[in-house]
Amino acid sequence: MLLESCDLIAITETWWDESHDWSVAIDGYGLFRRERWGKRGGGVALYIKKSIQYEELSLKNSHEQVESLWVRIRNRGHKGNLVAGVYYRPPDQGEPTDEAFFLQLQKASCSQSLTLLGDFNHPDISWKSSTASCRQPRRFLECIEHNFLSQVIDTPT
C-alpha cells in the first residue's frame, strides 16, 4: 500500500553488480540504475511509476566516476518539466569528480524545476546554518545555492 503512493523512489549505495542475481523490478515502475564498476559499493537507482511520462537525460561528461543519474519527468499539463537527479558521493571523493558533478547539476538546473536526491557525504557541512569549514564542502554549498536548491533533510538518516 505504501509503495503505491510513491511516484518516485531514489536509492543510493545500491551495491548492485554482476555478482548479484536477485530481481530488482517493482511492478508498475520503470527502473534506471547506475552501478559502480571496478570497486565495491556505491551505485544509484531511480524507480518511476510507469503511468508517468519520463526519459533519462544524458548529462555525462568525460569524468565518468560521478555516481548520478538524471530523469526528465514530463508535466501532463504542459506547464513545464521536472528534472529529478539521484547522486551518491563517496566520502573520499576528490575535487575533480566533485567538479564534474557540479557541471552536471548546472546542466540539469536549466529545467523549470529540479529535485536532487541522494547521499552527499559532506560531514563537515552544517545544514542548519549552511556552513562548512573545509574547501570541498563549501564549494558544494556554493553550487547548491547557485542552482537555487535548498536542503530539506538536515540530520543524518
Q: Where are the alpha helices (DSSP H) in 12-134?
A: 95-108
pLDDT score of 2 = 56
pLDDT 10s digits, 88-117: 999 888 888 898 888 888 888 887 788 899
pLDDT recorded at residue 132: 92
Q: What is the pTM of this model?
A: 0.81
Q: According to the model, what pLDDT value does residue 138 have? A: 92
Strand-pairing partners, residue 68, are: 87
Cα–Cα dist 61/144, whole Å: 19
Exposure string of 115-147, with b = 16+ CB inside 10 Å and e = fewer, is: bbbbbbebeebebeeeebeeebbbbbbebbeee
Q: Give the integer Cα–Cα distance in Å for 45 and 1.
A: 21
Q: Write down the pLDDT at residue 74.
A: 82
Q: How many CB atoms lie within 10 A of CB 101?
A: 24
Q: What is the pLDDT along the chain (157 residues), one digit of tens a residue?
A: 455 678 888 888 887 766 665 667 788 898 888 877 667 778 898 999 988 888 888 876 645 678 899 998 887 666 678 889 999 999 888 888 898 888 888 888 887 788 899 888 888 888 888 899 899 999 999 988 888 888 887 666 6
Give pLDDT, residue 141.
92
pLDDT attached to residue 1: 44
Q: Which superfamily, per CATH, for 3-146?
A: Endonuclease/exonuclease/phosphatase (3.60.10.10)
The domain locations on the chain are: 3-146
